[in-house]
Amino acid sequence: MMRLMYLFVCFAMLSFPAFALDEPAYNRVVESGVIRCGYAISPPVMVKDPNTGVLSGLDVDLWTEIGKELGLKIEWAVEVGWGSFIEDLRSGRVDAFCSSLWSDPARAKFLSLTSPLYFTYADAYVRADDFRFDGDLSKINDPAIKIPAVEGDVSVAMAQNGFPLAGIDYLPQSASLSEMFMSVLTKKSDVLFVDQSMLSALDKNNQGKIRKVENVPHVFTFANYYGVLAGEYQLRDMINMALRTIKNDGRLEKLAKKYSESYTVPRKDFE
């Protein structure tokens, strides 16, 4: 019996993945000199060339500066889903989620967020021939209306909290923003909430097919953050220190405005 137990334990230790040892991501980063980034595609802050796979955008530029400040290599390790990236952090597959994301109280218990990077305003967008909601966003709050949302993502909370009577066109956790966009264009859903910079990037190949709902205020206002696993305070604070330097010396604003004048950056600490 003892021999069998011994063999079982040995087998379990050999077959269990290394990250199950629960080594903090901070330790991995410091020991390796590398931050392994998970990312999700969201133009213009995260763009992937379909031919070469090369990444570009505001997030890439900001993490390049973070790496310089910390003396660490930034490795764009894994493309992940908006609804599933927390599992990638939990498993140790990545050390940080390096795509800027909107805060979501429902997943706050799983994440430690950095300081805000910049602020964006989400507006309502519909097909070019749809004028139902102009001047009155309350008409969206109707069971006949559908809003696209990715399972496990803040887009679900936006729909449920902002327009609780509306239906939701649930997309899988791996779905991208472009798939939400296409949900509206193909009439599977009716209205999409994105900021102006996202819309401009998504609409390049569909110019004139989607429009902003007119004569209404911004629907949502969001701060944008990067995330690490809950409890990884040393890693988060290290990234925050780099971001603070980038903000205070003006690099953050310069990079943000490069991609969109609609981005509002936090005030410098000494202003």
Q: Are residues 37 and 49 in the same domain?
A: yes
Q: Are residues 112 and 235 in the same domain?
A: yes
Q: Are residues 48 and 101 in the same domain?
A: yes
Q: What is the pLDDT of residue 271?
A: 65
Q: What is the pLDDT of residue 175?
A: 84
In a domain, 94, yes or no: yes
Supply φ then ψ for residue 77, to 5 degrees: -80, -50
Question: Strand pairing of 210-212 and 96-102?
Answer: unpaired
In a domain, 4, yes or no: no
β partners of residue 112 = 228
Q: Are residues 203 and 234 in the same domain?
A: no
Supply φ then ψ for residue 139, to 5 degrees: -70, -15
Domain containing residue 71: 18-119+223-259
In a domain, 266, yes or no: no
Q: Are residues 60 and 176 in the same domain?
A: no
**In total, how many domains does the chain have?**
2
Q: Are residues 125 and 113 in the same domain?
A: no
Q: What is the pLDDT of residue 108?
A: 80
β partners of residue 149 = 170
**Residues in the chain, pLDDT under 70:** 1-22, 202-206, 271
Kindly write down the DSSP assignment for every residue of the chain, as one continuous string.
-HHHHHHHHHHHHHHS-GGGG---HHHHHHHHTEEEEEE--BTTTBEE-TTT--EESHHHHHHHHHHHHHT-EEEEEEE--TTTHHHHHHHTS-SEEEEEEE--GGGGGGEEE-S--EEEEEEEEEETT--TTTT-GGGGSSTT-EEEEETTSHHHHHHHHH-TTSEEEEE-TT--HHHHHHHHHTTS-S-EEEEHHHHHHHGGGSTTSEEEPPS---SEEEEEEEEEETT-HHHHHHHHHHHHHHHHTTHHHHHHHHH-TT-BPPPPTT-
Q: Are residues 244 and 115 in the same domain?
A: yes
In a domain, 61, yes or no: yes
In a domain, 10, yes or no: no
In a domain, 87, yes or no: yes
Q: Angle at Cα 28 formed by Cα 30 and Cα 15, nearest 5°? A: 160
In a domain, 27, yes or no: yes
In a domain, 228, yes or no: yes
Q: What is the pLDDT of residue 133?
A: 98
CATH number assigned to the domain comprising residue 147: 3.40.190.10
Q: Are residues 62 and 36 in the same domain?
A: yes
Q: Are residues 203 and 227 in the same domain?
A: no
Q: Are residues 37 and 159 in the same domain?
A: no
Supply φ then ψ for residue 68, to 5 degrees: -65, -45
Question: Per residue in 192-215, pLDDT tens?
Answer: 998 888 777 766 666 778 999 999
Q: What is the pLDDT of residue 106?
A: 78
